[in-house]
Amino acid sequence: MAVKHGGNLQEVSELYKIEKKNLIDFSANINPLGIPERVKEVLIKGITELVHYPDIRYRALKRAIADFHGLSEEFVYPANGAAEAIFMLGRTLQLKRLLLLAPTFMEYEAAFNQQETEFCYFNLEQRNFQWTISELMRSAKEQQVDGICLCNPNNPTGQMLKQFELEELFAFCQENKIVLIVDEAFVDFTKEEYSFVSSINTNENLYIFRSLTKMFAIPGLRLGYLLTSNRSILSAIVEKTVPWHINTFADLAGQQALKETRFIEDSQHYIAQERGFLEERLAFFKELEVYPSQTNFLFMRYQGAGCLQEKMLKQNVLIRNCNSFNGLTQKYYRIAVKSRADNQILLAALEAVLCE
Ligand SMILES: Cc1ncc(COP(=O)(O)O)c(C=O)c1O
């Protein structure tokens, strides 16, 4: 199937002639607890604000992001989803050779392609998804890269580098004048100790992407940001930005969402519990090899015949076929960790498909 991203219900529904409302979507990794109540209230009240333009400098939103991380507002570029931040950086930062995990989120290539950056890969499947930071650094050296872009936790594998590993990598990057870009779109679902945000203050060659669309279940609203202390890159990005690129709803929702620390903790707890439940039950299916994950999705290899995604669609369950990711040779799939009721539907559908 040609669908490039998870969560593309419209395209799947047209391709497979299944009504959208009948599909259960495990292909997008969105918090099953939904939008926090206070964020919904802010959105509803926010209707009256739509008669005005949003603050073109997004000062309150920047302050909310900066406070959330204990950083200076100067280092924050709020964006229309992390995707916009990725593309703006890709259009601005000049890199000759950029090292990417393979597989990883595909938009880094699309974003940096515009600068004619050459891409180098660190293949995970060839290492059976078990690798060390030393191997990654060796690969960066051998391939003479001037940039490394990591997705942490990595989409689609769910693997996560720990703080001390990132620190080692960061020291290596500083020593070798390599730019380090870390996409933390899914880090909220893990413990915050894994985030690398606190290092922003000390190095101008570090860029971090964050997304609010996954944790706060607002992919339709669009909100994310870039953090960096590199002032010249930030002002070059701001110069290229379309005025009012973030709408008033997203601006207001973001300010409230970042106050929802209890909701984030509850979500982390819920995800850990449901991921454990799914891991335990999925282990019963011999055709599936499920890889350990630290976040709100699971990556797995299917060793049976045919396409598991198509088989699951017959049960009205949409899972992510990973065949469009770079660097995978076998049949891999990704599933979101959802509510217990939905997870049970997924397991029943798998049973119908795999044990028929
Ligand atoms: C790793 C990663 N980064 C960034 C994004 C984009 O997030 P946003 O919805 O904030 O644009 C995605 C979306 O799936 C993603 O998987």
> Which atom from ligand 1 is nearest to the alpha carbon of 214?
9
Residue 344 scores a pLDDT above 90: yes
Q: Are residues 244 and 287 in the same domain?
A: no
Q: Is 40 a domain residue?
A: no
Residues lining ligand 1, judged by CB closer than 6 Å?
81-83, 105, 151, 155, 183, 185, 211, 213, 219, 224
Average pLDDT of 16-32?
92
Digit-coded pLDDT (tens) for 256-297? 999 999 999 999 999 999 999 999 999 999 999 999 999 999
Among residues 208, 240, 259, which one ends one of the domains?
259
Give me the CATH number covering residue 15.
3.90.1150.10
Q: Quote the number of domains for the chain.
A: 2
Q: Are residues 301 and 159 in the same domain?
A: no
Q: Are residues 95 and 207 in the same domain?
A: yes
Digit-coded pLDDT (tens) for 31-63? 999 999 999 999 999 999 999 999 999 999 999
> Which atom from ligand 1 is nearest to the alpha carbon of 86?
4
Q: Mutate which of 105, 157, 186, 215 to test ligand 1's pocket (most atoms within 8 Å of Cβ)?
A: 105
Q: Is residue 280 exposed (0-12), middle (13-18) or buried (19+ Cβ within 10 Å)? A: exposed
Give the side-chain half-sphere CA count within 13 A for 120. 18
Q: Is 155 left (phi over 0), alpha (psi -120 to 50) or beta?
A: beta
Among residues 259, 291, 325, which one ends one of the domains?
259
Q: Are residues 204 and 270 in the same domain?
A: no
- On whether the pTM is more than 0.75, the answer is yes
Residue 93 scores a pLDDT above 70: yes
Backbone angles phi, psi at 132, to 5 degrees: -120, 165
Task: Compute the Cα dihedral for 241, 103, 214, 230 and give only its sign.
Answer: negative
Enter the DSSP assignment of 1.
-
Digit-coded pLDDT (tens) for 171-216? 999 999 999 999 999 999 996 567 889 889 888 999 999 999 999 9
Q: Are residues 52 and 110 in the same domain?
A: yes
Measured in Å, residue 107 CA sits from the centre of ligand 1 at 9
Residue 102 scores a pLDDT above 90: yes
Q: Mutate which of 89, 151, 155, 186 to test ligand 1's pocket (most atoms within 8 Å of Cβ)?
A: 155
How confident is the model at residue 1, as a pLDDT? Answer: 47
Helix (H, G, I), strand (E, B) or coil at 19: coil
Among residues 259, 285, 316, which one ends one of the domains?
259
Q: Mutate which of 182, 184, 211, 296 to test ligand 1's pocket (most atoms within 8 Å of Cβ)?
A: 211
Q: Is 185 a domain residue?
A: yes
Q: Is 1 a domain residue?
A: no
Length of the chain, in residues: 356
Q: Is 37 a domain residue?
A: no
Give me the CATH number covering residue 242.
3.40.640.10
How confident is the model at residue 143, as a pLDDT? Answer: 98
How confident is the model at residue 193, as a pLDDT? Answer: 66
Q: Is 39 a domain residue?
A: no
Q: Is residue 5 exposed (0-12), middle (13-18) or buried (19+ Cβ within 10 Å)? A: middle
Helix intervals (H) in the chain: 9-16, 37-45, 59-69, 82-92, 107-113, 133-142, 163-175, 231-240, 248-257, 261-282, 308-313, 340-354
One-letter amino acid for residue 348 of the chain: A
Domain of 15 in residue numbering reads as: 9-30+262-354
Q: Are residues 228 and 268 in the same domain?
A: no
Whole-number Cα distances in Å, 225 to 63, 67, 110, 239, 320: 12, 14, 18, 16, 25
> Which atom from ligand 1 is nearest to the alpha carbon of 151?
1
Residue 7 scores a pLDDT above 80: no
- Report how far residue 141's alpha carbon sits from residue 136's, in angstroms, rounded to the nearest whole number: 9
